[in-house]
Amino acid sequence: MRTLLIAFAATVTLAAHGAAPQVTPQDLLDGLKDPGKWLTYGGDYSGTRHSPLTQISPENVGQLAAQWTFQTGTLGSFQTTPLVIDGIIYATGFNNHAWAIDARTGRPIWRYRRNLPDDLHVCCGAVNRGFAALGDRLFMTTIDAHLVSIDMKTGGVLWDVELADFKVGYSATVAPLVVKDKVIVGIAGAEFGIRGFIDAYDAQTGKRAWRFYTVASPDDPIGGRSWPPGGDAWQRGGGSIWVTGTYDPQQNLVFFGTGNPGPDYYSNAREGDNLYTASLVAIDADTGQRRWHYQFTPHDVHDWDSTQVPVLADLTIGGQPRKVVMFANRNGFFYTIDRVTGKVIVARPFVETTWAKEIGPDGRPVLLPGHLPDEEGTKTCPDLGGGTNFMSPSYDPTSHLFFVTARETCATYFAFDQKFKPGEQFESGGTTRPRDQKNFGALRAIDPVTATVKWEFRYPSVSASGVLTTGSGLVFAGDGDGNIMAFDSRSGKNLWHYQLGREDAGRRKAGIARAIRRLYPRVRVRNHNGFCTRMHRSVSQSTAMDPKGHDTHDCPYCGRPLQWVAERWFGRGTFECEQCGDFPDMTPSLERAAIPAAPPGVAPAPRRRDGRPRVLLVDDSVEYRDLYALMLEQMATVITASSGEEALALAAAEPFDAIVLDVLMPGLDGWETCALLKSTPATATVPVIMLTSLDGLDVPATASRVGAVSVLIKPCAVDRLAVAIREAMAQHRALQSASSSLPDSIESEP
């Protein structure tokens, strides 16, 4: 799916494009006093995302209509907030693409594309969350852990500085925060065992002014005692910064939420509270010194980054004015905190939480038993995506309500010991979603004085949409099915929606369910978004895991001998290649095996007139699906699906030359889907390539049993995957040529 920008009718003040706009420090302090500009990630320093515009109102919002669409020409999701300055939209996108766009017409003014290295280490997508602006310059972080200054008029690079070494796992996706003459950014990469930090750089020269480490060293008088004494766990303790903070000019404090400790899930690797991870830190904007901190989730073992937006406001609580910071946390609790002292005023869950009963008088969560991940797995709510995530909330000072995209999800968490290797993922565990889990999302309105939910609008699936409120009493948000929506801020009534290009999911799923029940009557069709819980349990109890019996395997990519590494993934061992790294493909024999001949009486799939094969690509992850589709579009016509049920319906309706299936998918998992495809005459000969995040010798064995021609382990290099898919399609075409004795009916048509 290609990303795009859509503009709706609104009043915009346009400036001539001849002169570059100028953004002053006073403009940033004024924030949205000029409502025709959006100068920072959150609209202003408070991060409320509340526009004072009133022209679009509850009475006329139904008249909104799309005015233009800008096709970016790239794949990958948008997680950015565009800046709007003098009628020009400045937006960033996937893989550090960026654009300046005329807000009136959608015409591109300039485009920036960064040349990224091939050996990046990114856990969660090559996204970017936006620009910052000062003077005639824009500032952007990059996936290869740099900060660049870009000319606002031309898109040319003015300076480029390295934040950290990307080769050992550092990256950067955060939208910078400009305060006075400094550009403040954070680093990401906690899943690779990095030590997180927040930096400030001189806006003119790019020289670093200060650095605050989000993982305390042993000599820190407070945080140093929160890590195992005498060890080096703190040196790879995580604490990423990947969502932009806020700024209080009166106190000269910047507020940032910090990421999870590393490794993510294995408790024994880092005993203690693990400061300053999973925390809110208040830092002096001039010096980088910590003024105070509050830790939301001490010793987090569920990957609950606290990298949500800290929203600043002045509230009346108990008859007294209070300067507060409001925070809807990934751990499922909503907090209102005194931003002068860092003390919790009120905190309550805003989604289902099973790990903690409440937040105690001392500000620490009151833990419930049975939620420490282990090798057997423990079910906890919320899942690793959390009660909310990177999607920005909004606060309406008129209705005094805080609006957030909430996620109602649970997961089974696993943990195990893992040896740290620089540049490799270091999570020591993982999660699956229970098959019977009925996940859904919601837009929720919270009273920050009492932390109670006042109303909600439920979505049929989880959403990753940010929220915007307006001075006219509107709330704009989006569901998980591609609809942008408008609500009455006081009642929650849905007033308007616009489909951004994805067809109605409800009708589509219902049609798929009917088709599957007709074609496969014994298959139970599930219309929810749960992940399968089949874990392909550890086979370490089997004699097949004896390294002595498997010391002759060669890497299918470089030919070097593979080395056995025990207890690598979910308690099972795996082979490792010194040249190609972790998670090599364990099925060279399967990849080289000939595809079985078609059963008697079954004709092979017909070739297309244009000579391009058709590939069915099935993965419920948008990021992976877009990446694979981009790669395959050079060689094939790609049809995508997000579930096993949808794949079966598409495969029954039209022929394909190859099918790529992810193992973990909602409803029918990839193994079941593959087995059904291979048991159906129309698809019995089509090569199926499996993609999985689970390693071990049982994976290729399962692939062979269900009839897959090969299996690849995620994450894997794009070039490896491309080679495997090309070989599978070439084998399929060779089989078609050898087995087809009838003239091709499609090509022989006049």
Q: Residue 36: which residues within 8 A CB-CB, separation 6 or more?
A: 11, 12, 13, 84, 87
Between CA 408 and CA 589 the distance in angstroms is 43
Between CA 63 and CA 8 the distance in angstroms is 10
Q: Residue 585: which residues within 8 A CB-CB, separation 6 or more?
A: 556, 557, 591, 710, 711, 712, 713, 716, 720, 724
- List Cα–Cα distances, 629 to 570, 583, 654, in angstroms: 29, 22, 19
Between CA 302 and CA 260 the distance in angstroms is 8
585 among known catalytic residues: no
Between CA 360 and CA 523 the distance in angstroms is 48
How long, in residues, is the chain?
A: 750
Q: Residue 253: which residues within 8 A CB-CB, separation 6 or more?
A: 247, 282, 283, 284, 285, 291, 339
Between CA 613 and CA 657 the distance in angstroms is 6
Residue tagged active-site, from 303, 383, 481, 695: 303
Between CA 534 and CA 608 the distance in angstroms is 37
Beta-bridge partner residues of 459: 441
SS (H, E, C) 526-554: CCCCCECCCCCCCCCCCHHHCHHHHCCCE
DSSP labels, 130-168: --EEEBTEEEEE-TTSEEEEEETTT--EEEEEE-S-GGG
Beta-bridge partner residues of 228: none
Residues 669/644, Cβ–Cβ less than 8 Å: yes
DSSP labels, 483-503: EEEEEETTT--EEEEEE-SPP
Would you please indicate which residues are annotated as catalytic (active-site) residues?
303
